[in-house]
Structures are given as structure tokens and as C-alpha cells.
Amino acid sequence: MSPARRAAVAANKPSHLRAVLWDLDGTLTDSVRLVVETMNWVIAAHGGPLLPYEKAGALTGLPLDAMFRLAWPDAGDDDVDRYRVEYRTRYDAVAVPATRLYRGARAALRDFHASGLLQATVTGKRAADCERILRGLGIEKDIDVYLGGDSAPRPKPAPDLALHAMSRLGVAPGESVVIGDSAADLAMGKAAGAHTIQVLWGFSRAPLPDAENSVRTWRELRAAVRALRGAKPGILGRRGPLRS
């Protein structure tokens, strides 16, 4: 039986939530705009056509190669490698210092951790970059495992990254929830057999098909997680506004 099939079978077994798998850009951090701006900075430097926010933002979390090939479909591997290096240099210098958590994210992460939930990142960014960003924002103690696009063989929407996170945390798919803002996040979670919650404050502002639940505020997110966990009212229930 394939890993994806095993995940789907396990997800059908009743179990309480034990792990939260977080996307980063547009979910924990208000940074989709920074990704698009950095991408267009590199494209402009090489005389390419700038990508509309709607088009580039929809690919946030996917490998950089896919985004660059929107501008240059026939780009060679050497060119894409060079663009990737330039992107990361610019992102480190400009975007990382400007990255902020959504207001409500810090409290949710800390409360989930304090309640005994395991937490991991499943971002398209490199794992080390994700860890550096979140450590810089002062929440490193609340994340148990930092994983990124370089942590699994296939990127989102394949289930590999979510399945790897579950393996590292020692949890089953039915004990896990993927929280994200994009179609790729939710498709990954569904393919892995996990529960899925879409946040509507990131890139996608309308409910997507692969989301079991869609939430507009951190209060709604806490309630959705509490319901999956079977927790009593009041646990994980602190209110938090939407944005920082």
C-alpha cells in the first residue's frame, strides 16, 4: 500500500488531534506580498515581465523554479539557479527583516504548545530559512519540528512534506491538521490524510475545495482546533485579532 493510501486509511479512523502542521507565508506570517515583491525584483533586474500579485501569490509555497518559469517558460536550469540565488540574497536582506507574525499567531502557537499539541512547519521555504525567521520572531520554543520545501522529495501539493512531519512528530494522519491559506497547502493535507483548515487572511480569501473548515479569525481557528481535539470549551480559547 502506498504512503498516500496508508494515510487516507488511517485518516478514517477516529482519533483526537495531537499535531498542528503550519504553513508560513500567509498563515503565520504576513509575508505573501514580500515574496511577490522579491520575485518581481529579480525578474525586473533581468528585463522580464513582472508577475501580477494574483498570479505569483497563488504559487507562494511552491518551489521558486515554478514561479520563475511563469516569467520565463523556456529558461534553462542554469538561469533558474542564478535567479534563485539572487532571490534568496534579496529576500534575506530585505524581506526577512520586514516579516511579521499576524497578530494572534504568537498567542495561538504558545497556547497550543502549552496544551500539549505538537507543532511543525510545512512551508515551501527551505527549513533553515523558516527556522531562522521564526526564531527571530521569538517563537522557537513553541515549534517542535521545522520542515520546509527541501525536507521532502516532492513539493506541495504532494503529501510528502506533511507525511514527513507526521513521521517526525510520531503522529497519525487522523491526529494531524494542516493549517494553510493556499490551494497547495490544503491539497497536500488532504492527500496526506490529515484534517485541513484554511485561514482566510492570507492569499486565498474565499473557501477552497480541499478545506474541511475555513476560518476568518484566530478565535475561529482556535474553536476549529478545539473541536478536532475534543477539548472542553475554554481550552485554547483566548481571543486574538486578525492582523499585526
Using pLDDT thresholds of 50, 70 and 90, give the confidence band for residue 230. Answer: confident
Same domain, 68 and 21: no
Same domain, 109 and 222: yes
Q: How far apart are CA 173 and CA 25, in angstroms?
A: 23
> What's the distance, CA 216 to chain centroid?
16
The pLDDT, as a whole number, for residue 62 is 78
Residue 159 within a domain:
yes
Same domain, 106 and 191: yes
The pLDDT, as a whole number, for residue 13 is 46
> What is the span of the domain harbouring residue 143?
3-30+102-229
State pLDDT tens for residues 10-57.
445 456 999 999 999 999 999 999 999 999 999 999 999 998 998 888
Q: How far apart are CA 196 and CA 194, in angstroms?
A: 6
Using pLDDT thresholds of 50, 70 and 90, give the confidence band for residue 208. Answer: very high
Q: Among 98, 113, 132, give the residue marking a domain's end.
A: 98
Residue 235 within a domain:
no
Same domain, 73 and 184: no
Residue 76 within a domain:
yes
Residue 242 within a domain:
no
The pLDDT, as a whole number, for residue 9 is 47
DSSP label of 142: G
Residue 239 within a domain:
no
Same domain, 159 and 220: yes
The pLDDT, as a whole number, for residue 83 is 95
Strands 19-22 and 118-122, sheet pairing: parallel
Mean pLDDT calculated for residue range 214-227:
97
The pLDDT, as a whole number, for residue 11 is 46
Q: Residue 65 sits in a domain of what CATH number?
A: 1.10.150.240
Same domain, 38 and 87: yes
The pLDDT, as a whole number, for residue 64 is 87
Using pLDDT thresholds of 50, 70 and 90, give the confidence band for residue 232. Answer: low
Same domain, 14 and 128: yes
Using pLDDT thresholds of 50, 70 and 90, give the confidence band for residue 132. Answer: very high
pTM, 2 dp:
0.87
The pLDDT, as a whole number, for residue 55 is 84
Percent of the chain scoring above 90 in pLDDT: 74
Contact 172, 192 (CB under 8 A): no
Q: Which of 184, 186, 181, 182 is nearest to 201 (CA)?
A: 181
Same domain, 119 and 14: yes
The pLDDT, as a whole number, for residue 81 is 94
Per-residue CA distances from 151 to 40, 87, 145, 241 (Å): 26, 20, 11, 32
Residue 147 within a domain:
yes
Same domain, 194 and 133: yes
Q: Among 98, 124, 146, give the residue marking a domain's end.
A: 98
The pLDDT, as a whole number, for residue 1 is 47
Helix residue ranges per DSSP H, 62-147: 64-71, 77-90, 96-98, 105-114, 127-136
Query: Cell numbers 492569499 correspond to what residue?
Result: 203
Mean pLDDT calculated for residue range 196-215:
95
Contact 169, 144 (CB under 8 A): yes
Total domains in the chain come to 2
Helix residue ranges per DSSP H, 76-217: 77-90, 96-98, 105-114, 127-136, 160-169, 183-191
State pLDDT tens for residues 51-107.
899 888 887 877 888 889 888 998 899 999 999 999 999 999 999 999 999 999 999
Residue 243 within a domain:
no
Same domain, 24 and 144: yes
Q: Among 58, 82, 98, give the residue marking a domain's end.
A: 98
Same domain, 168 and 88: no
Give every CB contact of residue 54 below 8 A, 6+ residues apart in sequence. Answer: none
Residue 12 or 170, more confident: 170
Lowest mean pLDDT among 3-7, 9-13, 197-201: 9-13
Q: Residue 170 sits in a domain of what CATH number?
A: 3.40.50.1000
